[in-house]
């Protein structure tokens, strides 16, 4: 089964991006977690993407805060699906990262998720849903996870 690359602009983003790693692990999908900044370590990003397909990476999740260019630059270098997670890391509370990530020019798509932990979790689940398109067993695990989630919701408060 393909793996998921989880990139983040700073080690400080990990407490948020761990939600993506955890969601994937719960579904039995392994991930490759790296600190790679579009601004501070641009060569590291290019090196990672050059070998990503050979390393069986099927989807790349990118979390970044502030003037967040990680997902966009990643998408510029690969045709793998790129999922962007804006992180609240500035006085603008993540709105800066959301707008930087979501407003891509036509031709270079980034699927953008909500700001913060729930966005990271959903990016993990979405990456699994993409991989499940060619993996019926993973599809079954996703369906089971939804059923378990529904069963945990009480009928009354």
Nearer Cβ to ligand RP5 (5/9)? 9
Give 109's DSSP letter. -
Asked if 31 is part of the footprint of ligand RP5 (rule: CB under 6 A), the reply reads no
CB of 93 to ligand RP5, least distance (A): 12
Segment lying near ligand RP5 (by CB under 6 A), choices 61-69, 77-85, 114-122, 129-137: 61-69
Q: How many CB atoms lie within 10 A of CB 58?
A: 20
Question: Residue with structure tokens 């979790």?
Answer: 121
Give 38's DSSP letter. T
Binding residue for ligand RP5 (CB under 6 A) from 5, 9, 84, 124? 9
Length of the chain: 157
SS3 86: strand
Q: How many CB atoms lie within 10 A of CB 22?
A: 14
Structure tokens at 154: 């009480």
Site size for ligand RP5, by CB under 6 A? 10
Task: Give strand pairing partners of 8.
Answer: 35, 63
Asked if 116 is part of the footprint of ligand RP5 (rule: CB under 6 A), the reply reads no
Asked if 10 is part of the footprint of ligand RP5 (rule: CB under 6 A), the reply reads yes
Segment lying near ligand RP5 (by CB under 6 A), choices 18-26, 46-54, 63-71, 108-116: 63-71
CB of 51 to ligand RP5, least distance (A): 22
H or E stretch at 124:
helix 117-132
CB 62 within 8 A of CB 83: yes
Binding residue for ligand RP5 (CB under 6 A) from 59, 87, 98, 127? 87
Residues in the site for ligand RP5, rule: CB under 6 A? Answer: 9-10, 12-13, 37, 64-66, 87, 89
């Amino acid at each position: 089964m393909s793996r998921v690359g989880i990139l983040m602009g700073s080690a400080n983003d990990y407490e948020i991006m761990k939600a993506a790693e955890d969601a994937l692990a719960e579904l039995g999908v392994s991930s490759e977690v790296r600190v790679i900044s579009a601004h501070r370590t641009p060569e590291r990003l290019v090196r990672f993407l050059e070998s990503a397909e050979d390393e069986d990476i099927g989807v790349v999740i990118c979390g970044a805060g502030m003037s967040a260019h990680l997902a966009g630059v990643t998408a510029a270098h690969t045709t793998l699906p790129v999922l962007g997670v804006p992180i609240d890391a500035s006085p603008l509370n993540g709105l800066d990262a959301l707008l930087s990530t979501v407003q891509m020019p036509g031709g270079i798509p980034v699927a953008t998720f909500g700001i913060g932990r729930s966005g990271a979790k959903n990016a993990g689940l979405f990456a699994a849903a993409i991989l499940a398109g060619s993996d019926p067993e993973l599809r079954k695990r996703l369906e089971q996870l939804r059923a378990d989630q529904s069963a945990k919701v009480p009928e009354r408060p």
